[in-house]
Amino acid sequence: MRDEGITRHSQQLLAGIAHELKTPLTLISGLSAELQEPTLASRQFQQYVQRIQFSSDRLIGLVDSILRGYELEQEMLELHFEPINAELIMDEVAHELEPHAKKQAQLLAVRSKQKSTIIADRGCLHAVLFNLLDNAIKYSNPESTIEMEARCRSGKAQLVVKDYGAGIKKSELKKLFSQFGRVQRPVPQWASTTGLGLYIARQLTEAMNGTLDLSRRRNGTSFLVNLQLSHQLSLFEL
């Protein structure tokens, strides 16, 4: 029975990964083919080249986070904790995913009430924020704003990714958290349909001694990444 569970887990995981990667791969393949079209205007040629570049970067980001999730499950992931400027890393991720948001005329806004330095593994934190923002873009309404904010809550740094989408139903929320909470957890059912992003983001956040919480709002969802500040008592770097 356990073997069957593992096989089903692997199949779901593989299906989820494959689906995630198909859109950027399809774009790279299709756009590259169109570059050879002799009637393509030069402005369009440039635009297609940029889109190939962005799709490749997004693909790398997705593969990178999937690999980190896999390494974590296999207990192969080595974390290197260091002080990281929260606002800078949020800016970096927002910059990488900005073209993805522009596709739907969405605006990305990064703000920080205080300069906060957190202790985290840079690659893992990048993967967490990349997944959360990628997910927010995917499920937010067109022409909406997606906000990223660094703030301090109860002596911890809190990095927020706030979307204005359809939100998550209460029933879905319960399922989401119960699936997350299992020790020997299979990839949750929703992971193959709504992407692996949240699943991986939560795993990686917990590996960095943090928590990933979700706050439902009437007009969307906020994902809250709680991590340790670099100085327990002197909270902010000025």
Partner 1 sequence: MISILLVEDDAWLRELYGQALERLKDVSMEYAESAGAALKILDSRSVDLIILDIFLDTHSGVELLHELASYNDTRLTPVVILSAVSESDFGMDHKRWGQYGVVKYLYKPSTKPQDLVNAVELHFSKRTTKGDI
Q: Does 11 bind partner 1 (CB under 8 A)?
A: no
Q: Does 33 bind partner 1 (CB under 8 A)?
A: yes
How far is 80 from 135, CA to CA, in rounded Å? 26
Q: Does 10 bind partner 1 (CB under 8 A)?
A: no
Q: Does 30 bind partner 1 (CB under 8 A)?
A: yes
Q: Which is nearer to partner 1, 6 or 40 (CB)?
A: 40
Q: Does 38 bind partner 1 (CB under 8 A)?
A: no
For residue 34, the tally of other CB atoms under 10 A from its CB is 13
Residue 226: CB minimum distance to partner 1, A: 30
Residue count at the site for partner 1 (CB under 8 A)? Answer: 20
Instruction: Out of 103, 111, 216, 217, name the contact with partner 1 by CB under 8 A.
Output: 103
Q: Does 72 bind partner 1 (CB under 8 A)?
A: no
Structural contact between residues 151 and 114, judged by C-beta atoms closer than 8 angstroms = yes
Residue 59: CB minimum distance to partner 1, A: 12
Q: Does 234 bind partner 1 (CB under 8 A)?
A: no
Site for partner 1 in 130-149 (CB under 8 A): 139, 142
Residue 168 Rama label (left phi>0; alpha psi -120 to 50; beta): beta
Residue 181: CB minimum distance to partner 1, A: 28
Structural contact between residues 77 and 68, judged by C-beta atoms closer than 8 angstroms = yes
Strands (E), the chain: 81-85, 107-112, 117-121, 145-153, 156-162, 211-217, 220-227
Give me the sign of the Cα torsion angle 205, 89, 148, 138: negative
Q: Does 25 bind partner 1 (CB under 8 A)?
A: yes
Instruction: Out of 27, 196, 224, 227, name the contact with partner 1 by CB under 8 A.
Output: 27
Q: Which is nearer to partner 1, 99 or 123 (CB)?
A: 99
Q: Which is nearer to partner 1, 22 or 113 (CB)?
A: 22
Task: Write the CA distances from 59 to 24, 26, 54, 91, 122, integer angstroms.
Answer: 6, 11, 8, 19, 19
Instruction: Out of 2, 39, 182, 238, name the contact with partner 1 by CB under 8 A.
Output: 39
Residue 71: CB minimum distance to partner 1, A: 26
Structural contact between residues 140 and 81, judged by C-beta atoms closer than 8 angstroms = no
Q: Does 44 bind partner 1 (CB under 8 A)?
A: yes
Give the end-to-end CA distance of the chain in Å, rounded to a whole number.
56
How far is 14 from 163, CA to CA, in rounded Å? 28
Q: Which positions lie near partner 1, rule CB under 8 A?
A: 19, 22-23, 25-27, 29-31, 33-34, 37, 39, 44, 51, 55, 103-104, 139, 142
